Structure 1
């Protein structure tokens, strides 16, 4: 991997998101030269894959988030450490590489509880976020230094600990502007949707670019839950059901009164808000108003897009100095990009903004979040600050992640 002028390192990222359907694994190649800058990494995606969770695990994890029994938290923290380790080793086997070829693993783990809003406990203002999947287990089962528990340091400085993916968006935004002189807006639609952009300019560096990023509202989480209730399916494949239904204006107007959607940033959320109770309220509303299942799915899909667009207009566009929408590129990632009905709604809302996937930037839309945690881990072990306080609301910048080292070398 060493060369006289340039060398590269391989980093791996692991994450399971709000959808809780499996472990996303991504390996990136980071090129390093004497002219490398910490805030603009020269990297590319080598490969990525998703390792499905065992049947029934999603339901167990959802119950942990609701009930929070200490015994289950303890055992599943270890179990997910093993499952994430197995996923990492499966990727190494796929590429025929050894643990010694991997410089670092970054694992986000599995969020089971995210409490960004502080509460008072014994005279202290406390918030917290819990990700299962012990990084020490991953390090010692793979033989690779592993960085995990990324949210805690940000929250220690008063931030919400989320979203963290805008750090990668920040890098991509600068690269895109340098190459095209066009402004990029980055939208990730996983279980939750989040958006990021900034006001790039000539001669910018990592300290003088204004930027904004936050969770907009639901991504796939409501659609998936309703599909399970109405049709017994995990998700709306290609957005087929939504495409067959019609948007109900009354239901859409009711949904758009969502307090989180209307709240100003910084803000982050998860299944703590968009949970079974929330879904049941939608089902009840549809039953009371005689709204069909297909029209419900179609309308909630439109709600997801409209919530994003509302937040773009309210909070992002002002930062872009009223940049002409025809000069803006919206890069979409996450499973939501596979939902054709959702993408159509986004195109209708954002017209004439150009909407493409992050594949156009060399980052497969299904690999972006995992790639981000590979980047965050690489920066952590390099001693570089790796988050955006202006996004999370932290009082200052720091280095996110707990580094778990190991002397083991797996063959």
Structure 2
């Protein structure tokens, strides 16, 4: 951006507006146009116009209003020009802009009441459209990061280690499917809301897990974790009474509070038992506990709340050994009853092993091992090695640690598991 009255501050304000307003602008236009591609094109033109106008005349008092009105007028211009991408726009909507007259100045913060009254609903509608069950899981994640969180195609492609061109084509196909399938940019009806909100939460948690348990060369992707928490805060603000949405946000905050201690200075993964708890972010953990406590006061605990409660017990314990492992084992048992999963059983086995000894933990783990369902899941074999060590079976433990290393997808994790194979606990 060229220097202007606001100088660098103007550029910073534009970047902030892009981060804060991009989703709102796209959402407002998408609902009116029924076409995500047309909405994106108009929003991009509006931000380009802002980069020039704001550098020259300063950032307006209502940046979101300026951007939305400008984007809407760009879309109207495209419609008048007969652009195919605006073929679905309702001609009656033209009056929302043209009634103000061609001399109206969006820099003054002018914004039609019909646009200002529904921004919250528009953002919600965009989230539900991006996370529609008719779309493939990886597409839901990419759409949400692109249009709700405002990440660029390049940033998303880098995050998921796919070529930018591949990701771009994936987004193009997804936008076409949304248009052709008639997926609406609206909040679902009350009877379908709970099911659809479950899908939205799952997408946000997938983004967080991709960052927190990265399968690539990096042990943790803080950028993805931060995006997921940003989305979680947004979702919690839009659905403040939903206990599971609060539980999801609390869970991510509590996990993120331990991020600084998870990797050593030389890039080695640091197991929970060895982490320097002084490095944990106490403020982030306290926020997570507060969000969780408020949710539990009003709701029966669901899966996200139970997982957050487990994370809170870890996060508030003075040491690994003094952690309330018996309570954690009980919480994993409750989670298994709500959402049975072999992964939950692996975690429950470790908690039982810590509370009642290695043999007790192995008894829980044995059915999972026998089923073969998680044969390629490194944490299963690491848990097996850990419990065998606790049960004083070091030779068998070495074999389990070796198998964990074979199945690890991250090179640094693989090296740490191999170290345990040669130097068990």
User: Same fold by TM-score, threshold 0.5 exceeded?
Assistant: no
Q: Normalization by structure 1: what TM-score?
A: 0.26
Q: Which has the higher helix share?
A: 2
Which structure has the higher relative contact order (CA within 8 Å, separation 6+)?
1
Q: Which has the larger radius of gyration?
A: 2
Q: Which has the higher strand share?
A: 1
Q: Normalization by structure 2: what TM-score?
A: 0.25
